Chains A and B, each alone.
Chain A
Amino acid sequence: MLSININLIIAFTLALIGVLIYRSHLISTLLCLEGIILSLFILITLLITHFHIFSISITPLILLVFSACEAGVGLALLVKISTTHGNDYVQNLNLLQC
């Protein structure tokens, strides 16, 4: 395995851990989500150019488009939360807690 792939896989894993473990701010989850998408994008592009599989070249572009949509949705949720609560602390999200 090439060393750049290992770098990118480590970046992906760190961003994933960042999504799953967060302390107080919701925006850190969203940031790490962007990190996952970015590392995935670069991984797929390197795969295409390394193995010369140009027929799936459109795939990273589609990934980018969908990530943009999802980032938009995440930010809209964030805006709504900070409108109601005034901050983005995750301990405010306890409406369904019994």
Chain B
Amino acid sequence: MKVINYLLNTFLLLTIIMITFPLIYNIFMPNKTINFPPLCKTTIKLAFFTSLIPLMLFIYSGQESTITNWQWLPISTFNLSMSFKLDYFSITFIPIALYVTWSILEFSIWYMHTDPNIHRFFKYLIIFLFTMIILVSANNLFQLFIGWEGVGIMSFMLIGWWFGRTDANTAALQAVLYNRIGDIGFMLAMAWMMLNCNSWDIQHIFMTNINTPALLGLILAATGKSAQFGLHPWLPSAMEGPTPVSALLHSSTMVVAGIFLLIRFNPTMQGNQTALTTMLCLGGITTLFTAICAVTQNDIKKIVAFSTSSQLGLMMVALGLNQPYLAFLHICTHAFFKAMLFLCSGSIIHNLNDEQDIRKMGGLLTLLPITSSAIMLGSLALMGTPFLAGFYSKDAIIEAMNTSHVNTWALCITLIATMLTAFYSMRVIHFVLLNEPRFLPIPVMSENNPNLINPIMRLALGSILTGFLLTTSIPPTTTIPMTMPTMLKISAMLVTIMGILISIELFTLTNKMPIMPMIHTHNFSNMLGYFTHIFHRLKPLAGLQTGQHIATMLIDLGWYEKTGPKGQANLHSSLSSTFTSTQKGLIKYYFLSFMISMALTLMVL
């Protein structure tokens, strides 16, 4: 019995318990709030280093484990127990989530410095992290659902942080409602598993054959949580929350929960072509549509939010290609550069005195050097520049797509979305960093605070190194064909370079072309494809109007006046007045024609 066998389980459980320490501190000593934020940050830093040990053990020996603690509900044949599944996915994701959270907590000490409720903000963030870890390490669907709902609720509370603002309240409500629709799919899948597999444990589920309805339920859950097309409007609206919330929840951690669920269940989906095709097409539509919407947005946080949505669509495409490990790799690398992009936008927003419109920014290249370098680094990583973090995952996904026998349409729209990624990233850089400032010279800009600089530096380091570290230390279990024609191999890079060149060309033209009044494509893109207008206004209006008509007008107008007695009376009188004019009363001629036709019939017969 070597000690090393116990280290994995011990250290990971220790990590999870360490995360609860600030919460317990807050429960028992709720009035000591001065040092609470730094306490949270230090605890998460320690938890990160503690969770590195299981990661090292896994890389060294490939050891995975499942910890089952105690039984909750032993109903005669259905056992529900608290169990943690520590496999490649959770052991890799937990340190990354903790690293990103550590940086974001340090950043929020600077960002939310003037907020009187900063300790409550940190408490919410820690609760969110705790539920996210529960979600990631869950071995049965019930525990996963606890984490799932937990992250949903914390998302609601954090988006509506500034609850005095109407837009923030509606955005929080929108997030919860759209997530609820996804939860219906999750519950459908849970009910199906309970009835057919008699267990909610992942090991038991993998041994049975899962039918399509349960898998479609899981895909619906992922659509809700990961903002795929159809249930996507909550993600750009969620930018009403403070920037650390956007960085943590809506870029790295919560929105990947849906994709993570599908990655966990990938052995059941490998054989089911319907589920794979659904994921492929859904991911393709999502990535293209949100990339189109991102091109004409003017709020910097919304552009990054749509970029997140587009990358989530790309992860879904990877799942549809039956490559869950590539999707997971993309989750890990995407967390770094997307969180960094959000932190940089937070730095810009605060330094410009709460200005979020990119048309009113400019010239920040020389004014905020560290932030602008980080934005450029993050954008390059997002575009898939060779050998930065995004390259290893994004290029691998596009290569896998190019060499597999899938829907060519999905392939084409993913390539177009890649080009649009380059396009809107260049747009951000052009408007925010280049040329002359378009804001008033009132705000005092400083990057001197270490609480601002260190997180951005740390995440930049992660953006550069993560792809390399992850791909070299953990070999993939499903390999993609590595040999392909040259044009296919460099297609992603070519498309990106084309996007950059087109964007540079357009930007040199924009300050010379005259203003055109009504461009329909611009309106389509700027108003998010009119999706919110139709589904938030027209459809409820139609439903409510139908209800009102049924309640008030159906009996009186419908049954009495149109169909019933009055309607019959009107019908008969109008019909008779119409037909009366055809009767001319020519009796003699009618009789004559009768007789002649009778005679003719008799003659023929």
Contacts and interface: CB of A to CB of B under 8 A. Distances in A.
What range describes how many residues of B lie at the interface? 10 to 19
B585 interface: yes
Interface in B580-595: 581, 583-585, 587-588, 591-592, 594-595
A62 interface: no
A97 B584 contact: yes
Contacts of B594: 20
Contact of B595 (A21, A93, A96, A98): A21
The winner among A17, A20, A90, A97 for most chain B CB atoms within 10 A is A20
A96 B585 contact: yes
A92 to B, nearest CB: 12
Contacts, number: 24
A90 B583 CA distance: 17
Contacts of B588: 21-22, 90
A74 B592 CA distance: 21
Say what secondary structure dominates the interface of chain B. Answer: helix
Interface in B196-222: none
Interface in B540-593: 581, 583-585, 587-588, 591-592
A20 B595 CA distance: 7
A94 interface: yes
B581 to A, nearest CB: 6
Interface in A19-48: 19-22
A96 B591 CA distance: 17
A98 B581 contact: yes
Interface residues of A, number: 12
B585 A19 contact: no
A22 B592 CA distance: 10
Contacts of A98: 581, 584-585
A90 to B, nearest CB: 7
A51 B505 CA distance: 109
Nearest to B583: A96
A85 B583 CA distance: 23
Interface string A53-96: 00000000000000000000000000000000000001001101
Contacts of B584: 97-98
B583 A19 contact: no
Interface string B45-57: 0000000000000
Contact of B591 (A20, A93, A94, A97): A20
B587 A19 contact: no
Contacts of B581: 98
Contacts of A19: 591
Contacts of A20: 591-592, 594-595
A24 B592 CA distance: 15
A22 B588 CA distance: 8
Contacts of A93: 585, 587
B595 A17 contact: yes
B275 to A, nearest CB: 72
Contacts of A94: 585
Contacts of B595: 16-17, 20-21
Contacts of A21: 588, 591-592, 595
Contacts of B591: 19-21
Contacts of B587: 90, 93
A36 B413 CA distance: 87
A93 B585 CA distance: 9
Interface of A: 16-17, 19-22, 90, 93-94, 96-98
Given A20-B591, A21-B591, A98-B585, 15 more contacts: A16-B595, A17-B595, A19-B591, A20-B594, A20-B595, A21-B588, A21-B595, A22-B588, A90-B587, A90-B588, A96-B583, A96-B585, A97-B584, A98-B581, A98-B584
For the complex of A and B, 8 pairs with smallest distance between CB atoms: A20-B591, A97-B585, A20-B595, A96-B585, A98-B584, A98-B581, A20-B594, A17-B595
18 contacts: A16-B595, A17-B595, A19-B591, A20-B591, A20-B592, A20-B594, A21-B588, A21-B591, A22-B588, A90-B587, A93-B585, A93-B587, A96-B583, A96-B585, A97-B584, A98-B581, A98-B584, A98-B585
